[in-house]
């Protein structure tokens, strides 16, 4: 297979992973802010859960980007 197409596919895959992760964290933050506005007494619990969940989303996004880049590097040989 052409190495140029592999590079384009890896770039698109990494880009989609980043856009998806950013959208997920944005929706998470939006829902957390809305929940804290409705129940200010639960803000501490909501913040903790939000930080942990955002870290999981970021980890999955980073893993997807690394897989795309490793795939592009290893199949180009």
- Grade residue 61 by pLDDT with cuts at 50, 70 and 90: very high
Report how far residue 24's alpha carbon sits from residue 48's, in angstroms, rounded to the nearest whole number: 17
- Grade residue 76 by pLDDT with cuts at 50, 70 and 90: low
Identify the pLDDT of residue 27. 97
- For the chain, the distance separating the N- and C-terminal CA atoms, rounded to the nearest angstrom, is 11
Give the orientation angle of helix 43-75 with respect to helix 3-38, to 10 degrees.
180
CATH of domain 3-75: 1.20.20.10
Domain boundaries, the chain: 3-75
């Amino acid at each position: 297979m052409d190495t140029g197409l592999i590079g384009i596919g890896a770039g698109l895959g990494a880009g989609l992973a980043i856009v998806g992760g950013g959208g997920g964290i944005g929706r998470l933050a939006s829902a957390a802010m809305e929940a804290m506005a409705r129940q200010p007494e639960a803000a501490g619990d909501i913040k903790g859960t939000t930080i942990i969940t955002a870290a999981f989303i970021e980890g999955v996004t980073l893993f997807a980007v690394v897989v795309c880049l490793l795939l592009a590097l290893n199949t180009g040989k």
